[in-house]
Structure 1
Amino acid sequence: MKHTYLLYLMMGSGIFFSSCKKGFLDIATNENISKEQVFSSLDFTERFVNNIYTGIPNGFDRVGEFVSLNALSDEGEPTFKQQAKEFNGGGYNASYFPVSSPSWANTYKNIRKTNLLLANIGGVPANGEADEQLKQRLRGEALFLRSFFYFDLLKFFGPFIISDRPLDVNENLQLPRNSYDECVAFLEKSLDEAIKLLPVTFDAGTGYGRATKGMCMALKSRLLLYAASPLNSADNAARWQKAAAAAKAVIDLNAYALYTKNTDKVINYQQIFQDYGNPELIMSLNFGAGKSLEQAFFPPGNSGWGNTVPTQEMADAYETSDGLLITDPGSVYNAARPYENRDPRFYASVLYHGQPFKGRKLDCSTTGIDGIRTSNNATTTGYYLRKYINENINLNTGAGRTMYWVWFRLAEMYLNYAEAANEAAANPSQDPLIYTYINLIRARSGMPALPAGLDKAAMRKRIRHERQIELAFEEHRFFDIRRWKTGETHLNGYTHGIEWTPDGSSYKIVEVFSRIFQQKMYYMPIPQSEVDKDKQLQQNNGW
């Protein structure tokens, strides 16, 4: 098949591993099993790798209770999650950090598991060529998983402590952080090795959900894009060229395709996150069948919790159908009817006052059933999130559906290439693929092509805006703002919402929450408890 889903691959025998004082592994069953037993057969070893996959985070739960990083960027606001509000107000430090994932300590526990596998896989008995190939594949999977966990630390906290083997408690554990460039080089080398060991894709019945070349290459693309960005590098054409090449390599696999199954442009975009099996997905996390997403994001008028809601800033960012911003002269935008003639991705991503939904029109007015600030579950901005929910789900009766978080998809690779190639070139006209890839994404959603003749600065602005719209609510904005070093612009001051009168005849824009962003917040504070244990572990600047 032309896609890979990351499942919660649980061990068939019910064995789960964790660190403990008395040994490397602790088995949560009625039997005990040693490290030696785990690596005594390929069956046990493969199950051990399966367990490591369960450490991959669910992007919907970064702050817990289906509150993601979307609520910590200018895309969204939390309706009731106090920890998210504390983060947005700058109420965190090295001793109190309200974001639950990634955890520095838990991530290193998962890294230790991968290092145990890499250190011991060579000694696992093998009978024949097929077993040797399986050992190599499991090694590749462990290299990918370790790289994924490390990159999660890198993008949140900056440079980490490189550990490429399982450390013993009797060793010197007072270790300094490596430099940013050392971390990137280590991850790039690990991913390059994994790429050589893994298949391009897996068939549904043979290894469905395991790491592939495409997943490794997509992670490498994002890694190198971040490494070339202003937060982590001076303007360096060679780094941008390298990032562009990494994105192009994923595209050239020809293993993935933009979702274009439906002629309805709204449905076409919406179904990327509903159609479990679509060819655009490179890596996604399946966290089971059910109705949890609908419960979390449905409006209260449909018995939902409205956990995270789009901001007015995000609603205003969507272009009009003629490809202009709502503030551009000549735009078809009509302030009296603000939701008409907008980018189809707006209708696929945002629920707004008066929108038909589940057989009725949403009432987000000050007295409506979905009304702004009318209950703990009500929107604080006048909007609700539509992107991930299935309107056909009934919370009271009937079956749920497969729920998944998208980690990598082809559209991101197009945007990664366009950004990196534009930054590497003197002028975007030097590389026609910059226009080609962005316009493919826009055409899929029924939007007009970019205007010709853009210079580098104008193209940069359009690429950044296209990322904001195409990748909305997928965890990208939180990091994009930081790697571009635009946090002071986008994350300071009030977010806004829209307050409609009960008869829907007029509205006003209202202040929602005053945010604070300081220079030190480009990277998160390393937990003070970790710094206290390791005197060589240097805290991030300002914390």
Structure 2
Amino acid sequence: MKRIIYIIFSIGLFTACDMDLNQQPISSATSETYFQTVNDFTQGLNAVYSAARAYPDRLLNLSETRSDNLYAVSDGGVRDWEGINSFHKTIDANPYVIEAWQSNFTGIFRANNYLDQLASKGESVISDPNLRRHLEGQVRFLRAFFYFDLLRYFGKVPIIDRVVSASEAKTIPRSSVIDVYNFIIQDLTTAIDYLPAPSEYAPADRGRANVYAAKMLLGLVYMTRSGPDLNVDGAGLNSNEWNLAVEQFNDIIASNAFEFLPTYSSIFDYNNERNKEVIFNIEYSSGSNPVVGATFPWVLVPDTWFQSLGFATQGGLTIRPVSSDLLEKYADIDVRKSFSIQRGYTYGNVVENRAFIKKFVDLTKVPTTSRMDWPINFIVFRYTDLLMLKAECVLKGAAGNTATDVDAVVNKIRARAGLTEPLTGVTLLQLLEERRRELIGEGSRWFDLIRSGLVESTMKSWISREDEGGQMEDFRIEYVLYPVPQSELNTAPGLYEQNDGY
């Protein structure tokens, strides 16, 4: 598979810098002397994309594991994901939380440097104005993508819109959620103006951000801030912008650039990447040195399952079981259940009866040299998700027809899953449950619960039913946000306040 995006950029400009407030200014002499050719700008753009390499793993660790989809309590050892799953207060030094902050800001710092170089050198180096616009559009999309990810996990974050020194970074406070949203929307509005349709890219470049990816993200931004504020400084602002989201989604639908695939498994087929369901991918390339393949297929899969099938040890991961509650939500004939979930296995003399998510594993593609090198892309935005998000907006009062935009969509999705009995008068709760079954393992459930305002009632009820051993902490509404990493608080004492509840 030829992939252009996840090239590890070997010059010191992009590999020698820290990923937090200690970051050195990246407008260094290296940067000044590097951006001299069109190829330099192409490679520099790849470095911005590469900051999203861990995004799928982050969704599995901080969204899927946090939600009622998984019951990932201790299996006898101390695991980093347990504090995430069980709502521990002391996760400000958790490596998953630190990674979410640092990797996103690494992407933002790289994007700022790129935009600075493009503004100062782009016209003299890149003669084609359309190419300059496409490059800027991609970087603005990525910067908005990184900031939206930060906002959903942490709420208020510092807005850094230019290259800054390490000392200056330590003086920039967290901005309000409203200001962060405005910054994101400004970047996305520009990106939409500058980005091409997928068909306008050369075949090798069609994994890059396109105008419909930016529209999809903007629609999700409008939806997310339309959610309730939950009395925390989180992503919901009660803004009631469901119609604005639908406008973006309708543009994507009207483009006819994407399709609803006839079979569920074909969406995730290793031999069917960049299929018509895919609006935007995180792309990977396997077999490279250094390794730049995907890791997410393995994150929720126990090593002993691979070993039971004759594969070498992958790295020590243990099971993160699918919750009983979610298993019960699937009909036995639902093809998404059998495709996405493994129901037990035997390894040696040990019988494992708990289920886990295997959705992204193709046993004919298991990496032989490194668990970090799976040859599959991660679908960030797909067409089925778009149709369900539009249905949610309509149920929230946006323009649309509940028969065609809600009921018909849900029934089409259910029919593909093998469920032939049609539903009428689909409610928001029914839609969210369908999203849960359809998008299992894709990291959407936690954010769906927050956006709908159902997170507190759902999680409290779920814990009381699922946690028979009493291993989880009580859920508090403050836990819709993660703590600011303690390392960030320590770097510039007094600059940030910790999020409530931690």
Q: What TM-score do you get using the length of structure 2 for normalisation?
A: 0.81
Give the aligned partner of residue 321 of structure 2: 309
Q: CA deviation at 1:461?
A: 1.1
Larger Rg: 1
Give the aligned partner of residue 351 of structure 1: 342
Give the aligned partner of residue 56 of structure 1: 52
Q: How does 1:80-479 map to 2 (within 5 A)?
A: 82-93=79-90, 95-100=92-97, 102-124=99-121, 126=123, 130-169=127-166, 171=168, 173-201=170-198, 203=201, 205-231=203-229, 232-233=235-236, 238-260=240-262, 265=263, 267-268=265-266, 271=268, 275-289=272-286, 293=297, 297=301, 299=305, 300-303=307-310, 307-318=319-330, 320=331, 341-353=332-344, 362=345, 371-372=351-352, 382-393=354-365, 402-425=375-398, 432-448=404-420, 450-452=422-424, 454=425, 459-479=427-447
More moved, 293-302 vs 70-79 = 293-302
Mapped contact 2:4–2:46 kept (Cα < 8 A): no
CA distance in 2, matches of 1:15, 1:165: 16
User: Which residue of 483, 487, 497 maps to 1:538?
Assistant: 497
More moved, 147-156 vs 247-256 = 247-256
Q: CA deviation at 1:434?
A: 2.4
Compared CA separation, residues 172 and 51, structure 1 to 2 (3 A)? closer
The amino acid across from 1:537 in the alignment is Y
Secondary structure (helix, strand or coil) at the match of 2:375 reads strand
The amino acid across from 1:514 in the alignment is M
Mapped contact 2:13–2:31 kept (Cα < 8 A): no
State the superposition RMSD in angstroms. Answer: 3.7
The C-alpha deviation readout for 1:363-410, integer Å capped at 9, x for no partner, is: 59xxx85623xxxxxx6xx2132311114457779xx96222221111
The amino acid across from 2:69 in the alignment is E
CA distance in 1, matches of 2:224, 2:204: 33
CA distance in 2, matches of 1:463, 1:22: 43
CA distance in 2, matches of 1:16, 1:115: 12
Compared CA separation, residues 517 and 5, structure 1 to 2 (3 A)? farther
CA distance in 2, matches of 1:161, 1:491: 30
The amino acid across from 1:297 in the alignment is V
Secondary structure (helix, strand or coil) at the match of 1:383 reads strand
Mapped contact 2:6–2:53 kept (Cα < 8 A): no
Mapped contact 1:345–1:470 kept (Cα < 8 A): yes
Compared CA separation, residues 215 and 396, structure 1 to 2 (3 A)? closer
Give the aligned partner of residue 455 of structure 2: 487
Compared CA separation, residues 370 and 197, structure 1 to 2 (3 A)? farther
Mapped contact 2:84–2:91 kept (Cα < 8 A): no
Give the aligned partner of residue 506 of structure 1: none
Mapped contact 1:421–1:431 kept (Cα < 8 A): no
The C-alpha deviation readout for 1:340-362, integer Å capped at 9, x for no partner, is: x4322111111225xxxxxxxx4
Give the aligned partner of residue 526 of structure 1: 484
Compared CA separation, residues 196 and 107, structure 1 to 2 (3 A)? same
Secondary structure (helix, strand or coil) at the match of 1:403 reads coil
Which structure shows the higher strand fraction? 1
The amino acid across from 2:340 in the alignment is S
CA distance in 2, matches of 1:210, 1:185: 24
CA distance in 2, matches of 1:229, 1:515: 25
Which structure shows the higher helix fraction? 2
More moved, 70-79 vs 93-102 = 93-102
Identity score, percent: 21
Compared CA separation, residues 448 and 96, structure 1 to 2 (3 A)? same
Unaligned 5+ runs, structure 2: 230-234, 288-293, 312-316
The C-alpha deviation readout for 1:112-139, integer Å capped at 9, x for no partner, is: 2211222231221546985332222211
CA distance in 2, matches of 1:420, 1:5: 35
Unaligned 5+ runs, structure 1: 27-31, 321-340, 354-361, 373-378, 498-509
CA distance in 2, matches of 1:494, 1:370: 29
CA distance in 2, matches of 1:512, 1:370: 25
Mapped contact 2:35–2:41 kept (Cα < 8 A): yes
Compared CA separation, residues 534 and 432, structure 1 to 2 (3 A)? farther
CA distance in 1, matches of 2:259, 2:127: 31
CA distance in 1, matches of 2:437, 2:248: 23
Give the aligned partner of residue 333 of structure 1: none
Mapped contact 2:264–2:416 kept (Cα < 8 A): no
User: Which residue of 74, 87, 95 maps to 2:68?
Assistant: 74
CA distance in 2, matches of 1:174, 1:116: 19
